[in-house]
Chain A
Amino acid sequence: MNFIAEVDIMPHQELLDPQGKTVAKNMKNLHLDGVEDVRIGKHVTLKLTAADEAEARQMVETACQKLLANVIMENFTYELKEAK
């Protein structure tokens, strides 16, 4: 079976996100004073082949834990869909 995983990787909420903070602060130069907070992460799309959804899920988990996310600094969420 073919799957597509859409993975979002974000810095842990309790950590300082210097990038997000700086972007948020400078929204005023675009006259977007209403933007209160920005946090910046990554979006990763994986295409994979697996026997079933459970195996696909396991593959995505492993990829995230071992490589895609630095779990000391980042958490991840993902959506898994069967590819048509």
Chain B
Amino acid sequence: MPTTQPAVNLEVAKNLGLNAEEFEKIHKIMGREPNFTELSIFSVMWSEHCSYKNSITWLKTLPRDGSRLLVEAGEENAGLVDIGDGLGCAFKIESHNHPSAIEPYQGAATGVGGIHRDIFTMGARPIAALNSLRFGDIKEPHTRRLVKGVVSGIGDYGNCFGVPTVGGEVYFNSCYNQNILVNAMSVGIVKAGETVSASADGPGNPVFIVGSATGKDGIHGATFASADLTEDSADDLPAVQVGDPFQEKLLLEASLEVITTGAVVGMQDMGAAGITCSTSEMSAKSGTGMQIDLSKVPTRQSNMVPFEILLSESQERMLIVAKKGEEQKLLDVFDKWDLECEEIGVVTDTGRLEFFYEGKKVADVPAEPLVLGGGAPVYEREYTRPAYFDKIAAFDQESITTPDDTLATAKQLFASPNIVSKRWIYEQYDSMVRTNSMGTNAPSDAALVRVKGSTKALAVTTDCNSAYVYADPYKGTMIAVAEAARNIVCSGGLPVAITNCLNFGNPYNPEVYFQFVNAIKGMGEACRKFDTPVTGGNVSFYNQSVHKNGTEPVYPTPTIGMLGLLDHYDQAMTLYFKEAGQSIYLLGQSREDLGSSEYLRLIHGVEQSPVPHFDLEEEYALQQEVSKIIKAGLIDACHDVSEGGLFVTLMEAAMPKGIGFEVNTDASIRKDAFLFGESQSRVMVAVKPEQEEALLNHLKAQNIINTKLGQTVAGNVAIDGQDFGAVREWKSTYDHTLGELIEQ
């Protein structure tokens, strides 16, 4: 083992991902030349992932206040929202894109593990998981291999951990061929007053590491920058991190139990940059410091040197600051759960992180300059309007002819992997454990999750149609927020707050940065309108494909994870037809708009067209009215119009109980736009005959634009008098197509 540290110079700093200016800044902060370990600490803390240096300026423009927020955005591991009855809801979404591209199973699994740890480290018990996945062209064998790996990774980790996967979204587009997106969200519940902060108060308090042993996971960058790298040391570097959901389950139970002992001062899970990040963030938050003896950290591999222990990203670990004198309570709980729990240091009042190894001090750095909001660098990047916008503006809808055979077109569109049921995927996830999933036997637009011990239910959803964001980052992102809110409203809930996962290309590409800036502007405006503040989230840059002629960014994909609330679970609204003989209405304006629809892409091969019609005020007004109609008990089913247009909305309402429908299109609008267009702010409702008059009176009184489409019937579908066959047959296509595509 090398006893001395590698020499430090600008070359080494650059290999660690730091630039000359940053290297200079570190000198200034330290007042001397940093040693290799110290430089490594700065390099990981000032990485994009930990410091948000290229995004924070814009993220700060998002609305981050609200009467329900219990912690400020970005202050803790996840957002925390007051849901009443003395309960709080912690929730967050995070990406694990690049690890999943290398090893889809472990990458996705550890992504799920990481986001759940963010929730239970705050003292909240995760009760629901969601995800948002983007894959390339499903015809590519490589894509199918990735789908299988990612889905079983998410399933195996979440199923074993015992938290139901209640919702999500999956899209296929060749822009993700080389760079898939795996975004995972966790939602947890905590009693008010039982939350734990990621802080390190009280000099003299002991610091513990608990959970898995520390291995050389995720330290490639620093290790390759180290001059001491030899053939042998490269051999024992793990290429992937292996998740251990069983260990995480024990860590969850032990963490929640140890909080009840009152012996915990602060707790922080270890994700990126491991011990470095958790010690610096906890210390900076409390204005304290820490002395840590790295030789006491249990290691999985022999011959680990200090910087490797500091930077290791081994999974299923936590850092806990305990009350001095109450250490035994901690040890007892972790012993009960057969977990390792080692005292490795102490909180100090110096504001410095002092790391020791075998009696020698190996690093001594101030905590504050390391962290976001402290001294970490902040950059403003240039941005320019993307050239491809010209092609989008040049699209002429008149050049698209309406197909003669509507039935054949509907069948072709309906079999798109972006439209069909994701059953093959979600049946591999345990969606029912914890017995709160209200959607198993009665689906809604958002996933409804009962909160035990109260009358409340959560409505949760993840949404982002990245084709819209590509066409118009500003409006497209507003639509992502609006659709999430619409899904919650159509389920009987009130939108409360969001978490975001911002997946973009290289921020140094001005066109990519233009997408980013405008997405943030759109998100901010929509979130202000819906009164859904941003509680936190994650930025993932550098999502791109590498070609011979350069790089191609993925479609900008700002995934919205939205939390909604039902004060009483009796307010739940479902999306499906219950019986024949009900009238079907469309609320909102039908428009002659094919923009960025699945129909244009799939049937006509048009990849570049304008974003579908969207007006924020119109959308907001519609949602307010839908909410009132549901509360007044005037409707029996409610489903919004999204991908695939009104036709797919109607089919999705028909399939759960096999109830058919007979509807007529509007002669004043081209038939393909009426049935398959994706213009926004439209909701389909079904009404019982005895309530139809009351509904119509209400719609008239409130001046809500509406169209009577037709009625529900037994088992068959007809449009403009044309027989479209049995719902049963459509459902067979819907349920089996994706599995057949993936298993081929």
Contacts and interface: CB of A to CB of B under 8 A. Distances in A.
Instruction: State if A and B touch, Cβ cutoff 8 Å.
Output: yes
A78 B215 CA distance: 28
Contacts of A72: 102-103, 239-240
A15 interface: yes
B699 interface: no
B212 A16 contact: yes
A53 interface: no
B103 A16 contact: no
Given A25-B338, A72-B102, A72-B103, A17 B215 contact: no
B238 A14 contact: yes
Nearest to A11: B242
Contact of A22 (B238, B242, B246, B315): B246
Nearest to A21: B244
A13 B215 CA distance: 11
A1 interface: no
Nearest to B338: A25
Interface string A24-36: 0100000000000
Given A72-B103, A73-B103, A73-B106, A16 B242 contact: yes
A75 to B, nearest CB: 11
Contact of A14 (B106, B215, B243, B244): B215
A16 B216 contact: no
A50 B216 CA distance: 42
Given A22-B246, A73-B103, A16 B300 contact: yes
Contacts of B103: 70, 72-73
Interface in A25-84: 25, 70, 72-73
Contacts of A15: 215, 238, 240, 242
B interface residue count range (under 10 / 10 to 19 / 20 to 34 / 35 or more): 20 to 34
Given A22-B246, A73-B103, A12 B238 contact: yes
B61 interface: no
A16 B246 CA distance: 13
A14 B237 contact: yes
Interface string B503-540: 00000000000000000000000000000000000000
A73 B246 contact: no
B314 interface: yes
Contact of A17 (B235, B241, B242, B301): B242
A14 B215 CA distance: 8
A26 to B, nearest CB: 9
Main secondary structure of the interface of A (DSSP, over half): loop
B209 to A, nearest CB: 16
B314 A16 contact: yes
A66 to B, nearest CB: 12
B240 A73 contact: yes
- Residue among A11, A17, A21 with max Cβ neighbours from chain B (10 Å): A21
Interface string B203-224: 0000000001001110000000
A18 B236 CA distance: 18
B149 to A, nearest CB: 9
Contacts of A21: 244
B246 A13 contact: no
B47 interface: no
A52 to B, nearest CB: 32
Given A25-B338, A73-B106, A18 B246 contact: yes
Given A13-B236, A72-B102, A72-B240, A18 B247 contact: yes
A19 B247 CA distance: 10
A16 B312 CA distance: 13
A14 B314 CA distance: 12
B336 to A, nearest CB: 14
B657 to A, nearest CB: 43
Nearest to B216: A14
A57 B327 CA distance: 58
- Residue among A12, A14, A22, A72 with max Cβ neighbours from chain B (10 Å): A14
B694 to A, nearest CB: 59
Contacts of B300: 16
Interface string B174-214: 00000000000000000000000000000000000000100
Interface in B306-355: 314-315, 338
Contact of B215 (A16, A25, A70): A16
Nearest to A12: B238
A79 to B, nearest CB: 24
- Residue among A16, A17, A25 with max Cβ neighbours from chain B (10 Å): A16
A23 B581 CA distance: 60
Nearest to B314: A16
A70 B145 CA distance: 12
Contacts of B217: 16
Contacts of B314: 16
A18 B244 contact: yes
A6 to B, nearest CB: 25
Nearest to A16: B242
Contact of A16 (B102, B237, B244): B244
B479 to A, nearest CB: 38
A14 to B, nearest CB: 4
A15 B103 CA distance: 13
Given A13-B236, A25-B338, A18 B242 contact: yes
Contacts of A25: 338
Given A22-B246, A25-B338, A14 B301 contact: yes
Nearest to B247: A18
Contacts of B242: 11, 15-18, 73
A15 B217 CA distance: 8
Contacts of B243: 18
A21 B241 CA distance: 15
A35 to B, nearest CB: 16
Given A13-B236, A73-B106, 12 more contacts: A11-B242, A14-B215, A14-B216, A14-B235, A16-B215, A16-B315, A17-B242, A18-B242, A21-B244, A72-B103, A73-B240, A73-B242
13 contacts: A12-B239, A16-B215, A16-B241, A16-B244, A16-B315, A18-B243, A18-B247, A21-B244, A22-B246, A25-B338, A70-B103, A73-B103, A73-B240
Interface of A: 11-18, 21-22, 25, 70, 72-73
